[in-house]
Amino acid sequence: MAKIEIPHNMNFTYNDELREVPEDSTQMLKGIEWLNEELIRVSPTDALQSALVLHNLCVYSRITGDYKTAETCGKDAINVFKEKGKSELVFFMKLRMAQLFHYKKNYTQADEIYVKAQKTIEKSKSAQVKKYFEFVLFHLGCLKFEKGFFAEANSLFARALDERLIAGDLQKIQACEKALRLVNEKIN
């Protein structure tokens, strides 16, 4: 997915409940405002770019707790990606929607999406699909952690860490290490 350069601090970290929280809420809200302006600017001319902006609005609105906007933007992005035949982006947006359902405590809906995605990835031979495996494992682990299924969360985080070590993404590795530390505190 093409990255949109947002001129604000959109970085986040994970709190002790393993939910994403902004490093700087004010900056993230300014970034959301910028994305809304960008959506107006690109909408009439470039549907695919609009969908990428909608994807970002979905993510950052969820992180800041605006679930209604996140859901609207997520659904709109999925529709555009479907219209444009971008099946990989549809797949990834469904994972983003699973995160949203998790945050809204619609655990069953989130779990169904993650489990279906996990099975799809495990069966796939496509590197474009397999690259989402660590994402699914980690976020399904976060869901299980929140629901109190600590042993299952621990297993998912350990598997996600293995995948992330191979990929070498330090920020994602650190998120897994924090998740494993928190879940082990709950188990012990």
What is the average pLDDT value for the chain, to the nearest integer? 95
CATH number, span 106-188: 1.25.40
Tell me what the mean pLDDT of segment 149-161 comes to: 98
Q: How far is 78 from 73, CA to CA, in rounded Å?
A: 9
Taking a C-beta distance cutoff of 8 angstroms, is the pair 177, 162 a contact?
Answer: no
Domain boundaries, the chain: 1-104, 106-188
pLDDT digits (tens, 9 = 90+) for 104-153: 999 999 999 999 999 999 999 888 889 999 999 999 999 999 999 999 99
Take residue 141 and report the two structure tokens written for it: 């682990």
- SS3 call for 20: strand
- Give bridge partners of residue 165 from the DSSP assignment: none
Q: How far is 179 from 138, CA to CA, in rounded Å?
A: 9
